[in-house]
Chains A and B, each alone.
Chain A
Amino acid sequence: MQEFKDIVGKDFLQTERGTCYSYAVDGMIPRAVLFPGEVEEVSEIVKIACRDRLSVVPWGGGTRMTKGTAPSRLDLVICTERLNKVIDIDAGNLTVTVQAGVRLFDLQEAVAGEENRCYIPVDRGGTESDESVCSLRENRGCFVPLDVPAGNRATIGGIIAANDSGPRRLLYGLPRDVVLGVRYVAPNGEIIGMGGKTVKNVAGYDLCKLMIGSMGSLGILCEMTLRLLPLPERSGTWLCIFAGLQQTGTFADEIFARPLLPCAMEILNGEALNDLPVKWPERGEKRRFGVLAAFEGAEEAVGRMKAEMKSLADDAGALHKVYLDDDEHRSFWSRYRWAEADLSGDQNDAISVKLNYPVSCYRDVLEFVESAGMKNNAHLASYTHAGSGVTRIHLLVEDGSKDRFERILTWTRKLLMHVHGLGGNLVVEHAGRELKKTLPVWGAVRDDLKMMQWIKKAMDPEGIFSPGRFVGNI
């Protein structure tokens, strides 16, 4: 421990039980939590960890720490919160370079420039007021096209390591489309740099891609260069409420059949709808389905999408429509939660799963979810990123029944088998510690697991980085 203290300074090494407890991963409490302030410090820490075979788990904003299987051992948590510098905003080149611990909303604020048209809600202090301003004046304000549920806390490093994404991936893509370069600390302590500030780069293997979504099992992300996009001129969202899944699907499919370019087509079931901070008559009716159809871009294009989608919604038999204009749209999406990122880690009757499947299968999947049980005495909210082939489900079984573990497990397996049959998979994004032990956390194992094992073994031969947390207990 003295060596670690020498590296980070005594204030930034915590070994006290209380602190360590709040950095527990799936109930496993680390021996120490370190808060390095420089990439070089991370490197020095890892060199010692490597020498002494101490296991290391990196920690960003902590919003996705319930994802993954429980670590097989845990000695050190390396928290990136002090690696919080925005290194270079190059709006002219449409790139930004940041350290891993920068929080998404802080970064959005920084790249939005003088212009206030941005995605940052003002509720960071907990207040609900919204001071974001809309204007059409010419500006160079930009945004980072990443979309996650808790951007006020989630760090860039964590988002990339967890490969997190949200509804607006439909237009803006995934972390793999946004990350242009990374600097990370490898399991031997070496600092490795890949990619850079250019939007095209084929020099050497694309190890950036390997790092994205690797959940801290191959390296600790320290710096990233990301692509920026100009802030859209205008934006809007239609919330359309339908009597059932069939009408909802008709509406969504009609939009996909046209050349329109929505940025999100989010389908919500009745319980998810009722959690929305939007009002419409009949709110609370559980059997409804709804679509959040969002669009961002040039004023004329937004105007057209608003009009066409309205008439498509009417044609499909929308019961209610609510339109969120620019300011409301931004405020809404920045607060939108499609996953219970804030759930306490020990709650054993709740689970969040993410289903992935070919994009055309969303209706089939939703029908299956509706019929797969768990409707009685349970809160089941589903959020479908239509057009991206992803459904997220949050299930809370509140009845205190003795067999609820068993029922959740059976339900999860049923879903997994169904989407697997469609060519997809299931990942448990959140579950209580006890429940998780029995769940297929990373879904069905595929043939390519052996390639992943080869890579893990080559890059982390001692198995010290997040051991046991990734696919196939890598």
Chain B
Amino acid sequence: MDKKLLISALQEIVGDSNVLFSDMDLTLYGYDASLDKGMPDVVVLPGSSEDVASVVSLAHREEVPIIARGSGTNLSGGTIPTRGGIILHLSRMKRILEIDIPNRTVTVEPGVITLDLQNRLLEEGFTYIPDPASQKVSTLGGNVGENSGGPHCLKYGVTTNHVLGAEVVLHDGNVVWIGGKSQDCPGYDLMGLLVGSEGTLGVVTKMILRILRAPEAVKTLLAIYDTIEDAGNTVSAIIAEGIVPATLEMMDQLVMKAVEESVHAGYPLDAAAVLIIELDGLSDGMERQSQKILEICRANGARDIQTAKDDAERARLWAGRKGAFGAVSRLRPSYMVCDGTVPRTKLPEVLNKVLQVGKKYELPIGNVFHAGDGNLHPLILFDERDEQELAAARKASSEILKICVEAGGTISGEHGIGIEKLQEMSLIFSEADFEAMRKVKRAMDPRGVLNPGKVIPAA
């Protein structure tokens, strides 16, 4: 379809002011939080499910790629328009439609900011668990598309464990409800399939999310280490002991330094690594469990252990952790973040190998990650204007993912595949596995218009 005709057809659906196509707008929608870039033909800001249905229907009819996105905080190129087409930015659909405390659900539109919902629920004494570090700006629709994780997913599971149902616009523009407020809907777990499918199987326009009562008690500890290996050993030991804290996060010296310069969280600058350990639940027995954790930390060489005395101190520790990616970008112009995940027992061994990769390519690597999940986030720092460094960073990243897979892990725990990790997919999947996934894709999107070229390598 001619670009001008496409634009005027879209303007007819959503109104002139909700269709963007200036060079600047298109450039702004050409990237996400990964390194790649593209350029869409047009950006559309729908205001309702009907708008989305009409736009998708048009895209289907004209066979134009359509890429649904939220705030674009995703880290794997999943929202980059590699083949032009329509960007469907869902930010205007940001209503919390219902908070249903008796049924422990909320119904929201996809453009609601994750933290906005969480803050709103706290007023009721409830919480929506998945808390990606980008929660201040990320949208719930984006979280569902990417199956986002976050520090509190260790105990409670990731996004897929907290989504009960959704209104979905299918490839042909038809609108269907899957799942619902009731659990155990008969039939295939379509919701489970859709979560994490990165907008390649349908566009979610409403979501029913599970909420939980905010825990009665929370205790936050900071354990300080002189070597990163000791910190890694502690994580493995805590899990092996059968303790599953609410969170178990690790940060190394490089990251702490960057964080201190920007957030002043109060991390010790001379330490090699810290662990943020948080317990939650009933207050009864929490003291004894935290004593047990202290013992394990000490037995594994912790230099010092601090306890957050009040909410303010706890908030400061977390501000540092959540601002880590942003803070690190002060050190070098660019960073590439890996998302490899390994069985928790392999953590010390894999961390050590990651450090060696940094040495081999002479690139600084910072570590800030969900240690309790075995979900690493090595941040490779470089300058993308330096082509040699860029090439080295890509190689280092790929090598780290290989290390994770060799340790019995996977190439992405929560950031998704997008386009960035398409090549590494064959480290864990066979051609038969790909073909099984392609069958699903073809069934749900026979013309291949929904975010084409993502997640599954081309046949």
Contact = CB atoms under 8 A, between A and B. Distances in A.
Nearest to B171: A454
B361 interface: no
A282 interface: no
Contacts of A297: 282, 285
Interface in B394-433: 408-417, 421, 425, 428-430, 432-433
Contacts of A298: 282, 284-285, 288-289
Question: How big is the A interface, by class?
Answer: 35 or more
B329 interface: no
Contacts of A201: 341, 410, 412-413
B443 interface: yes
Nearest to A94: B239
Nearest to B374: A198
B240 A91 contact: yes
A193 B430 contact: yes
Nearest to A230: B242
B196 A205 contact: yes
A303 B284 contact: yes
Contact of B428 (A203, A389, A450, A454): A203
A227 B160 CA distance: 15
A83 B299 CA distance: 42
A455 B442 CA distance: 9
A446 B215 contact: no
Interface string B163-190: 0000000100000111011111111111
Contacts of B341: 198-201
B423 to A, nearest CB: 12
B213 interface: yes
B412 A203 contact: yes
Contacts of B441: 205
A208 B410 CA distance: 15
B345 interface: yes
Question: How big is the B interface, by class?
Answer: 35 or more
B414 to A, nearest CB: 6
B220 interface: no
Interface in A346-377: 354, 356-361
A136 to B, nearest CB: 12
A188 B425 CA distance: 22
B71 interface: no
Interface stretch (A18-26, A55-63, A169-177, A318-326): A169-177
A182 to B, nearest CB: 11
Interface in A265-311: 297-301, 303-305
The 5 closest A-B pairs by CB, nearest first: A209-B192, A230-B242, A298-B285, A458-B443, A360-B102
Given A92-B236, A201-B413, 13 more contacts: A186-B432, A196-B428, A199-B344, A203-B429, A205-B455, A206-B193, A209-B191, A209-B192, A259-B216, A301-B281, A425-B185, A425-B186, A458-B442
Interface of B: 100, 102-105, 146-147, 149, 153-154, 157-158, 160-161, 170, 176-178, 180-193, 195-197, 201, 213, 215-216, 236, 239-244, 281-282, 284-285, 288-289, 341-345, 370, 373-375, 408-417, 421, 425, 428-430, 432-433, 435-437, 439-444, 455-456
